[in-house]
Structure 1
Amino acid sequence: MTERRTLVVVGGTSGIGRELAARRAAAGDDVVITGRDAERTAKVAAEIGDRVRGVAVELSDPAGIAAALAVIDRLDHLVVAAIDRDENTAADYDFSRAARLVTLKLVGYTEVIHALLPRLSRDGAVVLFGGQARDRPYPGSTTVSTINGGVGGLVHTLAVELAPIRVNAIHPGIVGDSPYWRGKRLDAVRARTPGGRLPTMADVADAVDFLLRNGSVNGVNLSVDNGWLLT
């Protein structure tokens, strides 16, 4: 019989975070999801199932994170999947948007870990979400590429600092059925992958499951892109 665990998914109201929450709840885990809006987060939690509850958290306001997460008594695993996007070039730089995204994804991610660490199981695991803009930049990805590189750095320092708690990150490529990419013309990208297909949300959730489950995987930045970076 598989041991019942408690998983917290920060950014679990949509996309890959929701996919993962639904997957773990169906497997028998207790799941806490977070989102920015309390009413919507509670609604999504109820839609996923009885084992899921919602908590409102705003990562771009680090001062409020600890109080928002105080309702969580204990957890075995933590996934920080909350993301945002920012089209920002050096030539046409909006520093306020850049500062918000840096705060959300680097300061906010770290404050979530800080707030929950006393209640996180010592044999637990943390998975952070980066992205492949860190290795494959594009016009307008100045902030996004920099931050996702920073997530890689967080993984390395936290894996050492939080030991024996394991810390890894997932860096998805273009996820074809995600809310952002669904319906867009992606044939050219798909054709460039050696496998001839784009990752799905289920593929990424399965990879997160692996990082949470495997006790010998630690300090790893895992790409899920069907080999896109090779081409």
Structure 2
Amino acid sequence: MTTIVIVGGTSGIGREIARRHAAEGEEVIVTGRDASRAATAAKEVGAARGLALDLTRPEEIAAALAEVERVDHLVLAAIERDQNTAADYRLDDARRLTTLKLVGYTEVVHALLPRMSRDGAVVVFGGLAKERPYPGSTMVSAVNGAVVGLVHTLAVELAPIRVNGVHPGIVGDSPYWRDKPLDAVVSRTPTGRLATMDDIADAVSFLLRNRSVNGVNLNVDGGWLLT
């Protein structure tokens, strides 16, 4: 049986990925900051278990993952939205986001690497702000740009374990976006629709399972980046 660990699997896209893989009969382990919420989410999506893990506290990550015995697939899906500008720069928020997505992600890989299958795979979440910044995306754009480099270096360092990145655009049915007015974005998207959580989960499954895809940063946006 394949074992998949989904960091940030208690809500949103991470939860959809967990639900999909549990339904396919895989052993799914989800993590979230809160132990009770992680356990509840695990039960609701059919995951084997839920673990408490806070990526902003990287010194505690190894202990939080100690009971994970074996990993075939690892998805680093935890995100945090940060509105931060150069003019009104909040150092604490900048450090938190950088720690979560760069230091925290990498420490999870470090902690689990001795237990990862040699033919396993890792998917790291970034986002299209790396190429399409917006007011307040100073750190989001910078960190997601760094995710591209992280994917490349991990693909080399972890070989033959594969490492890929997924960079969603606006995900129309996600908890953050579904109640916002998005008609203007839809009109500029070549497919005439926004990406869905199911689309992103499908892309993650592809990146995990196709054994010839490695070191790729995949945009999932319906072509929105082109317009």
Once the two structures are superposed, residues 23-60 of structure 1 have per-residue CA deviations (whole angstroms, 9 ceiling, x without a partner) of 000001000000000001101111112x4210000000
1:30 aligns to 2:20 (yes or no):
no
> Which residue of 57, 75, 79 corresponds with 1:79?
75
Q: What's the counterpart of residue 2 of structure 2?
A: 5
Q: What's the counterpart of residue 153 of structure 2?
A: 157
> Which residue of 197, 200, 204 corresponds with 1:201?
197
Quote the Cα distance in structure 2 between the aligned partners of 1:29 and 1:124. Answer: 14
Q: What's the counterpart of residue 115 of structure 1?
A: 111
> Which residue of 164, 169, 183 corresponds with 2:165?
169
Quote the Cα distance in structure 1 between the aligned partners of 2:33 and 2:19. Answer: 19
Q: What's the counterpart of residue 59 of structure 2?
A: 63
Q: Match for 1:43: what amino acid?
A: T
Q: Name structure 2 gaps, 5 residues minimum.
A: none
Quote the Cα distance in structure 1 between the aligned partners of 2:126 and 2:160. Answer: 22
Secondary structure of residue in 2 paired with 1:210: helix
1:92 aligns to 2:88 (yes or no):
yes
Once the two structures are superposed, residues 113-141 of structure 1 have per-residue CA deviations (whole angstroms, 9 ceiling, x without a partner) of 00000001000000000000000000100
Quote the Cα distance in structure 1 between the aligned partners of 2:164 and 2:41. Answer: 26
Q: What's the counterpart of residue 138 of structure 1?
A: 134
1:217 aligns to 2:213 (yes or no):
yes
RMSD over aligned Cα atoms? 0.5
> Which residue of 6, 14, 19 corresponds with 1:17?
14
Quote the Cα distance in structure 1 between the aligned partners of 2:44 and 2:225. Answer: 36
Quote the Cα distance in structure 2 between the aligned partners of 1:170 and 1:95. Answer: 27
Quote the Cα distance in structure 2 between the aligned partners of 1:226 and 1:185. Answer: 18
Q: Match for 1:6: what amino acid?
A: T
Q: Match for 2:96: what amino acid?
A: R
Q: Match for 2:179: what amino acid?
A: G
Deviation (angstroms), 1:191: 0.7
Q: With structure 2 as the length reference, what TM-score do the two structures score?
A: 0.99
Quote the Cα distance in structure 2 between the aligned partners of 1:107 and 1:44. Answer: 25
Secondary structure of residue in 1 paired with 2:215: coil
> Which residue of 185, 189, 192 corresponds with 2:188?
192
* % identity of equivalent residues: 71
Q: What's the counterpart of residue 100 of structure 2?
A: 104
Q: Match for 1:138: what amino acid?
A: Y
Quote the Cα distance in structure 2 between the aligned partners of 1:219 and 1:75. Answer: 19
Quote the Cα distance in structure 2 between the aligned partners of 1:55 and 1:40. Answer: 9
Q: Match for 1:107: what amino acid?
A: V
Once the two structures are superposed, residues 38-97 of structure 1 have per-residue CA deviations (whole angstroms, 9 ceiling, x without a partner) of 001101111112x42100000000000000000100010000000001100001100111
Secondary structure of residue in 1 paired with 2:86: coil
